[in-house]
Amino acid sequence: MVDVTVRGAGIFGLSVAWACARRGAKVRVIETVAVGAGSSGGLVGALSPHVPEAWNAKKAFQLDSLLMAGDWWAAVEAASGLPSGYGRVGRLQPLADDRAVAAARRRAEEAKTLWQGEAAWRVVPVSGGSWEPLSPSGWLVEDTLSARISPQLALAALVRALRAMGGELVLGEGDEVGAVVHATGVKGLADLSGYLGKTVGSGVKGQALSLRYEAREAAQLFVDGLHIVPHSDGTVAVGSTSETVWQGDGPDAALDGLLARAVAAVPVLQGAEVVARWAGVRPRAASRAPMLGAWPGRAGHYVANGGFKIGFGMAPRVAEVMADLVLEGCDSIPPEFRVEASL
């Protein structure tokens, strides 16, 4: 007997399956390629907030997800007996000039209210430590909300946790039984676009690499659009590119530029061994927000897609609101996230 079938074993699919299984549902996950075969099987794992200003539903939803992430991933680890690589390590960002410093100080005041006293955004002077990005102004933004996770460890932990709750993972094709949640990334956006007769999203290629460098307890860094994330296994992930036009889906020469930028920002990485290279095509909804909710005109079918760049950070909250909807008929999805918002 199956109550919920989830198509796709990426971060959204496995998270929704786990949330449903925790509530007692019998869950089947169908994955036609491999766990994390799409964009979820990457390297970076930066769980970082948007800036605390111009507040909206997307930022509020993300804040809720980041704040619940520690307990949520701890439950996954307890059920699976496996590490997820989660750690709320914070983040440092350089400030280019006096104008950027002034803006950051205004945001620090906003964060005191918007972040509900659960985390801080503050402007701090450079300390001269080796694990700091170069800052032209001599100042950095430090936030205590950002966290990191190992995408591949996290997916493995979710699979084990799901099975521990009686869930099933089918590799290949399988029968859809019960409510069906489509969390199939770029292919899912294409399928939905064809069904609706309108393009509701597309793929964007991203690339990242992993360096052998011991900084596992250090903050992640964000420098000129580049995420530099220390992981619990003694590596540092660097990513990622955003390519709307590309020749092939695999890693290519763009990673050389990525590495050069990382070393320029954090010179201590000079000479670090490259231990992994990754490329994948990430699902970006036309709205640039996650796409969640009922599949229009298709009773009993649901969509959880569009986690472009923020999928792991959004996953705990996405999982719970989708479980609310699918199992209990309780709809708390923000209007901006609904599938019909793209129509």
Residue 342 banded pLDDT, cuts 50, 70, 90: confident
Both 183 and 231 in one domain: the answer is no
327-335 contacts, C-beta under 8 A, 24 or more apart: 327/3, 327/4, 327/20, 327/23, 327/25, 327/179, 331/293, 333/292, 333/293, 334/57, 334/58, 334/61, 335/57
Residues 299 and 324 in one domain: yes
Identify the pLDDT of residue 340.
84
Q: What is the pLDDT of residues 235-270, one digit of tens each?
A: 999 998 999 999 988 999 999 999 999 999 999 999
pLDDT given for residue 84 in this prediction: 98
* CA-atom Rg of the chain in angstroms: 20
Is 100 part of any domain? no
Average pLDDT for 117-134: 95
Q: What is the pLDDT confidence band of residue 191, given thresholds at 50, 70 and 90? A: very high
Q: What is the tens place of the pLDDT at every residue in 141-173?
A: 999 999 999 999 999 999 999 999 999 999 999
**For the chain, what is the domain count?**
2
The answer to whether the predicted template modeling score (pTM) of the entire model surpasses 0.85 is yes
Structural domain contains residue 120: no
Q: Which of 260, 282, 304 is the last residue in one of the domains?
A: 282
Q: Measured between alpha carbons, how far is 234 from 240 in angstroms, rounded to an integer?
A: 19
Q: In the structure, what pLDDT confidence band is assigned to residue 106 with cuts at 50, 70 and 90?
A: very high
Question: pLDDT band at 197, cuts 50/70/90?
Answer: very high
Residue 177 vs residues 28, 50, 328: alpha-carbon distances, Å: 8, 38, 17
Average pLDDT score over the chain: 96
Last residue of a domain, one of 282, 299, 334: 282
**In this structure, is residue 303 part of a structural domain?**
yes
Q: Check: CB of residue 309 under 8 Å from CB of residue 203.
A: no
| 105 inside domain | no
The answer on 54 and 11 residing in a single domain is yes
Contact in structure between 209 and 263 (CB atoms under 8 Å): no
Parent domain of 33:
4-85+147-200+286-342
223/316 same-domain check: no
pLDDT of residue 341: 82
Task: Say if residue 209 is in the same domain as residue 60.
Answer: no
Residues 207 and 172 in one domain: no
User: Which CATH number is 274's domain given?
Assistant: 3.30.9.10
